Amino acid sequence: MSAKLEERSIVVPGDLIYEGRIRTGDNTYRDRENVYATKVGLVNYSKDRVSVIALEGGYAPLVGDLVIGTVTDLELGQWLVDIDGPTDAVLTVSEATDKPFRTSLDMTQILDVGDLVVAKIFDLDRNRTPLLSILGRELGRVNEGFVIRITPSKIPRLIGKKGSMINMILKETRCNVTIGQNGRILINGRSRGDEELVERVIRMVEDEAHTSGLTNRIQEYLKSIKEEKK
Amino acid sequence: MSKQRKRKPAKTWERIDGRKHDELRPIHIESGVLPNADGSAYIEMGRNKIIAGVYGPREMHPKRLSKPNMGVLRCRYHMAPFSVDPRRSPAPSRRDTEISMVMRDCLEPALFLERYPRSVIDVFVEIIQADGGTRCASINAAAVALADAGIPMKDLVSACAAGKYEGRLILDLGDYEDKKGESDMPVAYMPKFEQVTLLQMEGIMTREETEECVRLAVDGCKKIYEIQKEALKKKYAAVREEAGQVAAEAEFEPEPEPEPEEAEEPTTEDEPTEDEEQ
């Protein structure tokens, strides 16, 4: 029954991180009495479980996630949306509009191939295909702003504890930012310069996600840029 | 005279490049070399130069090849026309197809493919310069690239060849030893599980020699495993050090809980964002 490594040390797949009985958290697995890491990341020992915070990784869709995707195909009564996950997601007409579905309905009026869409995953079907919904506030087709992509595993860091990081960035830059859990981020600011600043800051967060004191450093950086402008 | 002759080579016997019988060629691995791939690695093993790229898990095309209950690992081993002398045709040969299959089979046990139904993980391996033992070096690079892509793995896979040359068992055969030697045995190994995932052999060896050869190769794999681990960690250690210094200079207290939360409640975390947008 013992932790094998220091808190927050970097592990690679196959590293032994715990000996004995304990609950296994994200990115770990148990083999008999031992717990091993399955991804490159930082070890996190908490009271009753051990987990690994991934530093790399694709997007694994979960119910409740807000995602930004591209409509790739239009079928009878549903759209296929690329959300950078293992499979395409499905958006049905019943989850896109309150009107009943009729063959006379022009689906391209709601969403067309190539459109960007902000949607919520409301369920996974039995094949684990994500089912999307755009019924709700702030959901639906994206009409303005631009989208950047970061590694999905770093999204939680960008949001921070209770949104500390992203709220700070929003306050300092006064841009609108919508974060998709799948690693796509929609930025909508007053000027192109503001938007570029947000992108630069998000890239900084992505590169230094595994370091400590990051929120403070980013804030200092944003303030220094503001002062330069004055 | 004949006695002396016999004894002399026994004392001064040396491999063609001056290595000991159980010595690896110098290995250098780098991870994350391709910006557009989900994960990548570059390996130099002796004079082998190999680059590996990993994409996925992603939607599989053509769709009929995907499996409804599990993901598919697709490997492509390819030698560049200029990787060997004389120039080689860029079209995939029988040998390329075989090594692609062998790589897939030896990497599959390390992955959790059952987590990705109807998806595919693509591994592309390009041999830029070949010097014997490319299949082992490719497996080493592919394993690092898979880990770099953040694909869940039970363990890394390390591979190394052993064989027989001039009647002696040697580790990590180079091109010359591979061609002139009596026997060659590539082995891939998962060090944490002590499981062999690939065992091929050509040539002739006795039973005892075969057993000794496997042992030799497995020891080589364990050494390579350490280098692979080092390569994966190196990418982060550098940034961490740099950022650590900056933090120290600015006299920031390290936050008690500064690192990513698990994205358990993304909705609540997102809400402030949405409020801001109104």
pLDDT digits (tens, 9 = 90+) for B172-204: 999 999 999 999 999 999 999 899 999 999 999
CB contact under 8 A, A220 and B250: yes
CB contact under 8 A, B191 and A14: yes
For A120, counting Cβ atoms within 10 Å of its Cβ (0-12 exposed, 13-18 middle, 19+ buried), the class is buried
Which position has the higher pLDDT, B272 or B131? B131
Query: What domain count does chain B have?
Result: 1
B69 part of contact set with chain A, CB < 8 Å: no
Q: What is the DSSP string of A122-149?
A: EEE-TT--EEEE--STT-EE--SSEEEE
Q: Cβ(B15)–Cβ(B131) under 8 Å?
A: no
Q: What's the gap in Å between the CA of A104 and the closest CA on chain B?
A: 30
Q: Is B13 within the bounds of a domain?
A: no
CB contact under 8 A, B147 and A62: no
Question: Mean pLDDT of all residues in chain B?
Answer: 85
A63 part of contact set with chain B, CB < 8 Å: no
A127 part of contact set with chain B, CB < 8 Å: yes
Q: How many Cβ contacts (< 8 angstroms) between chains A and B?
A: 189
Per-residue pLDDT, B268: 38
Q: Is B262 within the bounds of a domain?
A: no
A59 part of contact set with chain B, CB < 8 Å: no
Q: Is B16 within the bounds of a domain?
A: no
Of B58, B191, B277, nearest to A138 by CB-CB distance is B277
Q: Where are the beta strands (DSSP E) in B9-71?
A: 27-31, 39-45, 48-59
Question: Can you tell me the distance from the alpha carbon of B69 to that of B118, in angstroms, rounded to the nearest whole number?
Answer: 7
Q: Where are the beta strands (DSSP E) in B103-213?
A: 119-129, 158-165, 168-171, 183-190, 195-199, 202-203
- In order of start, what are the domains of chain A with their CATH numbers? 2-54 (2.40.50.100), 66-141 (2.40.50.140), 146-229 (3.30.1370.10)
Least confident of A6-10, A134-138, B84-88: A6-10
Q: Which residues pair with B68 in a beta bridge?
A: none
Residues from chain B contacting residue A170 (CB–CB below 8 Å)? 273, 276
Q: Is B269 within the bounds of a domain?
A: no
Question: Can you tell me the distance from the alpha carbon of B212 to that of B71, in angstroms, rounded to the nearest whole number?
Answer: 37
CB contact under 8 A, B247 and A217: yes
Residue (of B146, B59, B71) closest to A130 by Cα position? B59
Res. B84: pLDDT tops 50: yes
Of A15, A88, A156, nearest to B261 by CB-CB distance is A156
Q: What's the gap in Å between the CA of B254 and the closest CA on chain A?
A: 5
Nearest CA in chain B to A220: B250
Q: Cβ(A214)–Cβ(A205) under 8 Å?
A: yes
The mean pLDDT of A9-26, rounded to a whole number, is 90
Least confident of A24-38, B113-127, B200-214: A24-38
Q: What is the pLDDT of residues B127-146, one digit of tens each?
A: 999 999 999 999 999 999 99
> Strands across the sheet with A176-179, in order?
A146-149, A184-188, A176-179
* Helices and strands (DSSP H and E) totals, chain B: 6, 10
Domain extent for B181: 27-248
Residue (of B132, B138, B134, B150) closest to B106 by Cα position? B138
Q: Cβ(B19)–Cβ(B177) under 8 Å?
A: no
CB contact under 8 A, B57 and A137: no
Question: Can you tell me the distance from the alpha carbon of A180 to that of A196, in angstroms, rounded to the nearest whole number?
Answer: 18
The CATH number that applies at residue B130 is: 3.30.230.70
Residue B186 preceded by cis peptide, ω within 30: no
A178 part of contact set with chain B, CB < 8 Å: yes
Per-residue pLDDT, B7: 53
Question: Can you tell me the distance from the alpha carbon of A219 to that of A165, in angstroms, rounded to the nearest whole number?
Answer: 9
A155 part of contact set with chain B, CB < 8 Å: yes
Q: What's the gap in Å between the CA of B13 and the closest CA on chain A?
A: 39
Q: Is B4 within the bounds of a domain?
A: no
Q: Which residues of B87-115 are buried (b: 16+ CB within 10 A; e: fewer)?
A: ebeeeeeeebeebbebbbebbbbbbebee
Per-residue pLDDT, B14: 83
Per-residue pLDDT, A125: 87
State the ipTM, two decimals. Answer: 0.80
The mean pLDDT of A162-175, rounded to a whole number, is 88
CB contact under 8 A, A25 and B262: yes
Most B-contacting residue of A11, A26, A40, A161 (CB-CB within 10 A), to test interface: A40
Nearest CA in chain A to B233: A10
Q: Cβ(A135)–Cβ(A98) under 8 Å?
A: yes
Pairing of strands B119-129, B72-79: parallel
Query: How many C-beta atoms lie closer than 10 Å to residue A82's C-beta?
Result: 16
Q: What is the pLDDT of residues B11-46, one digit of tens each?
A: 678 888 889 999 999 999 999 999 999 999 999 999
